């Protein structure tokens, strides 16, 4: 077993929101796909997960975490992997465009 005594302790405040999620104590297979899941089975599972998320008191915190951490799997904050990937890609494009625009402004006399 690895010695973890030198690792920093978790900052409880950072994860406190998870204790209040509707997903707490539910089977994770609702939010994370099993191997080989496709088509209607996947769509049905994702829809069930999103339904749970929509009434969740910490949906904003959950979504923020998933987008910030770039969570690659599962339904987080009512968004599936494809939706998050699209949002993250769009955010990076906007940031890149803003940086390029700033460079143009700073070199213009």
Binding residues for [4Fe-4S] cluster: 23, 53, 56, 62
- Rg, C-alpha atoms of the chain: 19
CA–CA separation, 107 and 68 (whole Å): 31
Q: Which positions make up the binding site? A: 23, 53, 56, 62
Q: Which residues pair with 76 in a beta bridge?
A: 79
Phi-psi region at 20: left, alpha or beta (left = phi > 0; alpha = psi -120 to 50): alpha
């Amino acid at each position: 077993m690895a010695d973890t005594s030198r690792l920093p302790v978790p900052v409880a405040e950072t994860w406190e929101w998870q204790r209040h999620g509707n997903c707490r104590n539910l089977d994770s297979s609702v939010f994370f796909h099993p191997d080989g899941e496709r088509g209607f089975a996947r769509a049905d599972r994702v829809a069930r997960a999103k339904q749970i998320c929509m009434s969740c008191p910490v949906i904003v915190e959950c979504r923020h975490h998933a987008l910030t951490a770039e969570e690659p799997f599962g339904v987080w904050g009512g968004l599936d992997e494809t939706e998050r990937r699209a949002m993250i890609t769009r955010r990076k494009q906007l940031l890149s465009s803003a940086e390029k625009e700033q460079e143009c402004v700073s070199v213009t006399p």
